[in-house]
Amino acid sequence: MVKIGIMGLTGCSGCQCEILNCQDALMKLLGMVEISYFPLAQDNNTFEEFDVMFVEGSVTTEEDEAKVLKAREKSKILVAIGSCACYGGVQAQKNDEASLEEMLKTVYGRTELFLKVTKPRAVSEVVDVDYELPGCPLDKRQFVYAVSFLLNGVKPFFPKIPVCHECKLSETECLTLKGIPCQGPVTYAGCGAPCTSQGVGCQGCRGNCDFPNFDEMLKILNQNGLSEKDAVAFLKVFRGYQGKEIKVNGEERRNEKGA
């Protein structure tokens, strides 16, 4: 039987909770696979060999790094789930602006903690990752699709079209045209655009779509009332390493690792 592991690093565990929210699909999955490691959901866990390991959270401590290195060693396929695992997430948004000591001092009031911490990193910055399922949290439908693909020996594929495409499909009125700051034009779709359907601009939690045009996005956000500095900060909240090249004052804006 196919052995699956679901591991959590530094994060909120929201993606793991979304997996538990798969309900009927999860019950069907349990009849086809053995979930041998899932500490959030079960007490009886073994850490031997895995066909597929799903990893949530950013690599932010020495313990995280040791866990993900071991997971990579023991797993045939390793999948990063959620924006923290895929890009570094919210906790990585200031990585290129402040030292670790400055961040610790600001958050905790001291630099010495009871555990060894590092700047938050995406899982792919530490080990090779086979697939990524971004989102904050991940979309549970994509999790079910990905597992189905993998169980049938098919490579999971989700086109990196922008969120605007999903707004068009659902006939959601364009918030950018209404003057509401929205990252839909530069953000990877797949969530179903629940935020924009409720009148809230896309926050970019799924990272970059293919070929994001940040120059034009910054101009639009500026036209919609954000200063360039605030627009850059808005774009960088979830993007982790993807956002470190988005800068103010016309400086180079590119995605180092590609879309």
CATH number of the structural domain spanning residue 10: 3.40.50.700
pLDDT along the chain (259 residues), means of 10: 95 96 84 93 95 98 97 98 97 93 93 92 98 96 92 91 96 95 97 96 97 95 94 96 81 46
In a domain, 259, yes or no: no
The number of domains in the chain is 2
Q: Which amino acid is at 80?
A: A
Statement to judge: residues 51 and 104 lie in one domain: yes
Statement to judge: residues 134 and 227 lie in one domain: no
* Contact present, 19 and 143 (Cβ < 8 Å): yes
Statement to judge: residues 114 and 204 lie in one domain: no
Statement to judge: residues 121 and 178 lie in one domain: no
Statement to judge: residues 49 and 70 lie in one domain: yes
Q: Give the residue from 105, 129, 151 where a domain finishes.
A: 151
C-alpha atoms less than 13 angstroms from C-alpha of 44 in its C-beta half-sphere = 3
Task: Work out the angle at residue 148's Cα, subtended by the Cα atoms of residues 143 and 149, and round it to the nearest 5 degrees.
Answer: 100
Residue among 130, 117, 5 at smallest CA distance from 65: 117
Statement to judge: residues 132 and 229 lie in one domain: no
Structural domain boundaries, residue 170: 163-243
Q: Give the residue from 126, 151, 176 where a domain finishes.
A: 151
Statement to judge: residues 48 and 95 lie in one domain: yes
C-alpha atoms less than 13 angstroms from C-alpha of 258 in its C-beta half-sphere = 2
**Residue 5 pairs with which residues in a beta bridge?**
37, 53
Considering Cα of 25, then 31, then 36, then 42, what sign does the dihedral take?
Answer: positive
Q: Which amino acid is at 87?
A: Y
Ordered alpha helix ranges (H), the chain: 14-20, 24-30, 62-74, 82-87, 100-108, 140-151, 163-169, 194-197, 214-223, 228-236
C-alpha atoms less than 13 angstroms from C-alpha of 17 in its C-beta half-sphere = 6
In a domain, 256, yes or no: no
Statement to judge: residues 146 and 167 lie in one domain: no
d(CA 163, CA 181): 14
DSSP string over 191-204: S--HHHHTT-----
Statement to judge: residues 18 and 113 lie in one domain: yes
Statement to judge: residues 109 and 45 lie in one domain: yes
- Omega before 137 cis (within 30°)? yes
In a domain, 70, yes or no: yes
d(CA 255, CA 259): 7
d(CA 208, CA 65): 25
